[in-house]
Amino acid sequence: MPLLLAFPNPQSKYSVGITIVIALLCLHLLVFRVVVVNSMDPSSSEEEDPYKILNIIPNPDGTFTRVDTHPESPPSPDPTLPTPVLSKDLTIDQSKHTWARIYLPRQALNNPPPLPNLPLIVFYHGGGFIFYHANSTYFHDFCIRMANATQSVVVSVDYRLAPEHRLPAAYEDSVQALHWIRASNDLWLARHADFSRCYLMGESAGGNIAYNAGLRAAAEAEQLRPLKIKGMLLIQPFFGGTKRTPSELRLAKDLNLPLAVTDSMWKLSLPVGANRDHEYSNPTVNGGSKVLDKMRELGWRVAVFGCDGDQLVDRQKELVTLLKDKRVHVVGQFYSGGRHGIFVGDASMSTKVFHLLQTLH
C-alpha cells in the first residue's frame, strides 16, 4: 500500500524542520521494509557465510575443520563372527586417499561357484559433497541392511570431499572406482559379484554423484567391460538451480534441510565462479546431457525416490520428466510427507528402495 504524506506549507517557519523529520521517517520505513522482505526472501541466504552455516573452519593449509563430526563404524571382515554381512576396506587410489568398503552377505560364502553370483551395487554416500565417509555409521548401517535384504555385493565408495576438492573431483573418483572394480583381483568381487548386473546408487549428494558418474560411465561403456551397468537408483538426489522451485520456497526454513544449507553446499562444492545452473547442479540445463541418448541405447533403467517433505522434491521430479522426455526407462517413486534423508535413516522406508532393487535384478 502506498504511503500518503501531506507536506507542510513551505512558508511556515517550521517547514524545513518538519520536512527533514518526515524524510527521516520515510527512510526508516524503507529500511525496515527491506529488512523484513529480505528476512522472508529465501534468496537472502545467498549473502550469508557458507562456512558459518555449515559449521566448518578454513585452515591455513587449504583444508577445513568440520566441527560437526559423525560416528564411524569399523569393518567386519572376520567370517567367524555372527554377522549376516561381512565388510572390509580396500584402497582405490593411494595418491588421492580414495577407498571403498565392500559388503558381502555371509550366505555367499556358503554358496561357492558355480552357483550364480550376486548383483553388484556401487553406492555413493550423501553429505552435500562436504560431509560423511563410506565408514560413517549412518551409511554403513544402510549398506549392511541393503546387502542382506537384497543379497547383493555392495561397494561403497569414499570419494574426495569439497571444498578441498570441488566438483568434478567426486565424479572423477566415482568413475575411477568403476574402473578399479572392473580390474580388481579382490576375491570377494571376483568370486561373488556378477559384473554383468551392476547398478549405481546414491543418496542426496550421492544421488547427484551416481547420476553424473553414470553419464560418464555410459559414455565409457566399452572401456568398462566386463562391468556392465544396468541402471541407477537415485535416492532423493541433490540438484539445484538459480530459479527457486515451489518446494524450495515452501520448505525454505525447514529445520531438517533449510535452503540456506543447500545454497551453502553448492557455493563450496561447485567450481569457483559457477552458479546453481551449472550442469553439475542442474541436469535440465540446455535440455539435458546428450549422453542420455547413449543411456537409453544401453537400456539402462533408472529409479528416482523422493517425498514431498523434502525441499528438493521438485528438482527430483524435474529429473524424472527430463529422462522421460529423453525416452530413458525411468520410474519415479514419490511419497507424501517424510523428510530429506528418510530413505536411509528410516529402515521402513529403506525397504521400499530394496524392494524395487530386487525387481530390477
| Active-site residue set | 204, 310, 340
Contact 166/130 with Cβ under 8 angstroms?
no
Beta strands in the chain (DSSP E): 56-58, 64-66, 85-93, 98-105, 118-124, 153-158, 193-203, 229-235, 301-307, 329-335
Helix (H, G, I), strand (E, B) or coil at 130: coil
Alpha-carbon distances of 342 from 134, 199, 239, 257, 348, rounded to whole Å: 18, 21, 17, 12, 9
**φ and ψ at residue 125, rounded to 5 degrees:** -70, 160
Contact 102/125 with Cβ under 8 angstroms?
no
**φ and ψ at residue 288, rounded to 5 degrees:** 90, 165
3-state DSSP of 287-322? HCCCHHHHHHHCCCEEEEEEECCCCCHHHHHHHHHH
